[in-house]
């Protein structure tokens, strides 16, 4: 059925585009959290200790070497005395 291939391709493109936006948003959020950490003079080793992880794990998070879960981002924020909030932007 050739007619079904077009919607599937469009859906796949939409998913890829959405994933790119989510990745960009997470990257922006991590960047903001790192900026807060640096502004407060908090070392990566201090964040690591507060999160109960290693300093290299914090470094990997900050450099975007993996896509962190919301739980990890929330723990990072708490470790630097920040909070992640969600707003309805309609």
**35-45, pLDDT tens digit by residue?**
999 999 999 99
For the chain, list residues with pLDDT below 50.
1-15
* Alpha-carbon gap, residue 6 to 24, rounded angstroms: 27
The pLDDT, as a whole number, for residue 59 is 97
pTM of the complete model? 0.73
The pLDDT, as a whole number, for residue 23 is 52
For tokens 């630097």, the residue is 80
The pLDDT, as a whole number, for residue 80 is 95
The pLDDT, as a whole number, for residue 14 is 44
* Alpha-carbon gap, residue 49 to 43, rounded angstroms: 10
């Amino acid at each position: 059925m050739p007619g079904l291939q077009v919607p599937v391709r469009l859906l796949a493109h939409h998913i890829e585009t959405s994933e790119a936006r989510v990745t960009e948003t997470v990257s922006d959020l991590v960047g903001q959290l790192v900026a807060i950490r640096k502004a407060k003079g908090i070392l990566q080793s201090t964040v690591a200790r507060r999160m109960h992880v290693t300093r290299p794990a914090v470094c990997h998070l900050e450099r975007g070497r993996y896509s962190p879960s919301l739980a990890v981002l929330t723990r990072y924020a708490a470790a630097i005395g920040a909070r992640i909030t969600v707003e309805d932007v309609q």
